[in-house]
Structure 1
Amino acid sequence: MSGSRRKRGGGRSSADEECSTRGGSASVSGYSSSSSATVYPVQLSPAVLNKIGNDCLVNRDYNEALRYYEEAIAITPDDCKLHCNRAGALIGLMRYPEAMAEFELAINLAPRRYQPRHDFGLWLLSLGQVENATDHLYSLGHKPDEATSQKLEAVKEHINKCTEARIVEDWATMKIESKAAFTSGADSSPQLFACRAEAHLKLNDLEYAETWIYIARMHKPFTARESKIFGMVSEAYVFFVQAQIHSSVGKFAAAVTAIEKAAQIDNQNAEVTDELENIRLVVEAHKHGDEHFCSERYEQACTSYGEGLWVDSSNPVLYYNRANCWSKLGEWEKSLADSNRALLYWPQYAKALHLRAASNIKLKRWADAVRDYEILRQELPRDQEVAANLSHARAELRREAPEGKVELVSDVEKFQAVIASGESVVYFNELTNPECAWMSSVMDTLSAKYPSVIFLKVVVEQSRAAAENITTLPRFRLYKDGSRVGTATLDVLEIMIKDNLIDPI
């Protein structure tokens, strides 16, 4: 009976042609036989093992590829090509430090061969390590092809623009340029992922900041030959950004761990050492504040949290904690102010939104309370306390709203004439919308607060032309001298009125 040879994973390989058998069946490295005859091991050649490994690599089966390359290397340990291929499998497994060591071994084995240096340079380029990549791609009198050269220059240009944007704190540009560096070829760069995370952090988008720093850490940052970004060792920069994000979301112990790692890697960088001191001060202030709060010493707790904010004036957790202390002291205006600051730096901070809504209830600012509880109701549809507070705030808003301030417009010509006459806010809705009544009350309140602005209501069933092809309802639009200057939802309507329609004093 002829023994069947089965490749690991179940498939049959062309490598079987190289296998010889005795007694009818053979067991080869990586293969098994079901024959009961005497088995004699036959070893595949390094070339065949390399080919099987390459096939696995193409199919992204990195663990299998690694096994075959290692079997081949065990036979011919001085083959630089095998070490380069093993590095490729390690890259697929995101074992970057090992991959770097493997490339360096390949180069040492064949110091006059360009190919290992070229392959290493391409990988370093994908990591955004432009200087190191350039050294390898332009070595031994060689240079890369035109496409690689263009990619190298594009990544370098976008990283330089990131650096310029960071110096002037132009975080929006830094976000755009870090993404452009990624799409240009640096698509595995932990420091560029961290760059995007830092930009999102500074733009007060903590959710995206956490996502991108997680991706950066998944790529296991490491430093090849002291690669730097923004004057900081690249690996240290990832921990530096991670520490800031942890601190902003209240993970203070993790923040200390991350910034201490950054300092261990790059203890000569002033940004790193300054941030290490700052985070330690913030953590200490937060600890003392919590101790005072738990002992109901709310004034002392306010002072401690304030000391932390003196060091980090954009920390939303410290603002929320202090706002909570003010609420315990019945200082609702101060509680509202600190809640607003917390939400400015972390717009999705649910605890701060709860506290702001409660402060608005206490201060009888019904329109603002309705706005906050509407958002909370969407996030917590089964929360009975939220539902009750929303119902209460709506009832009070309807009861206290002034009469006859918002004009209902159904004639398109009148609509156009009114919006051309000055500053105006138009509320578009449907008769069947259950929120129509209380949102009209919000408009009444705003019209009393901003008498220089004209407030209109358009019911789309009555005037499709005036509705201006609006498909999402309810919706607010702002006009100035006949030109639309903005579209808003209720939660940002008053801010947009102030920014776009009210002249500063």
Structure 2
Amino acid sequence: MISRIASFAALIALLAAAPAWPEPAEEALQKGLGLEEAGNFKAAIQQYDRAIELNPRFAQAHLNRGNAHAALGDDERAVKDYSAAIRLAPKDAEAYHKRGNAYRRLGQIERALADYAEALGRSPQNGDIYFNRGAAYYAGGQYEASLRDYAEVLRLNPKDADAYYNRANTYARMGSKERAIEDYDRALSINPQFIEAYYNRGVAYGDLGQHEKAIRDYTEVLRANPKSFRAYYNRGLAYYRLDQPAQAVEDFSEALRIEPKDAEAVYNRGLAYIRLGKYDYAARDFTEVIVFMPRNAEAYGWRALVRLRQGRDQEAEADFKKAFQLDARLKKRLQPIIEDVQQKAKASSQGQNP
């Protein structure tokens, strides 16, 4: 899910509205703002430290130091600074909003929601606060509330592609794939370069069994990012489900060039090789999966079936025994396939005899 932070321009606006502090503290704050804008957050913190040392009641310096700590991933320190800013300027919506964001990132969802409520009480038309509260509701599993907040964001700004995207993700999590796709469509109509929207729409299409459309979306992702493991992997799954195993093998192989030790990609490539009748390659892949995951019952089961088709009955029997030891339920699933392979082998043998 996407979250949102206030723009640097908004911070300048807050500063302009603040009371005039002693000049040395103001000078240190200005230096800190310049460093923060340049991305030098550690140096900015040193300037904010100086401003607070000169004037401990400088709420804006506490707020900005909190922002710099947050940018460095130190949300616990950010919370302390935002709390100080709130004590000094309790009417400031921005400090509540920022502390809410920090609490959300720390996984303290109820505290985050309380702060967003305080912020909205002070700034009820602020779409960013609704947006981030929607993300907090989503993180807390309160999906209906999340949808309401994204609807409010879109009421305030109907061209907000990120809000459509996050609402689509919420619908998808709730199982409403069709409504998710509608919102991904809206996000992409506003921002045609929204690669995450293409990817997640592809996932939604796949969940609905619309694999051709999923393939088109994953292809868009790969045009923008040819190193996307997940796009190659998911497109490979889509090709496999469309019974296009050769294309599936190509995509799983591309995925494995990016992540050579991904057991799922190796496993699914093995299944695609079976459909192509390339049993040696399939056996090699299932063996590799077993090296990665020695207790993977399905890898043993599929390797057993491959070896059965190769006429390597003793090795197949050993693999079946291991597979069923690891997962007794697998026997019921594989038994029809085993019988089919054995019947075909028997028919082939009889056809060759005079």
TM-score band, normalised by the shorter chain? Answer: 0.3 to 0.5
**Structure number with larger C-alpha Rg:** 1
| Structure with higher strand content | 1
Which has the bigger relative contact order, CA under 8 A and spacing at least 6? 2
| Structure with higher helix content | 2
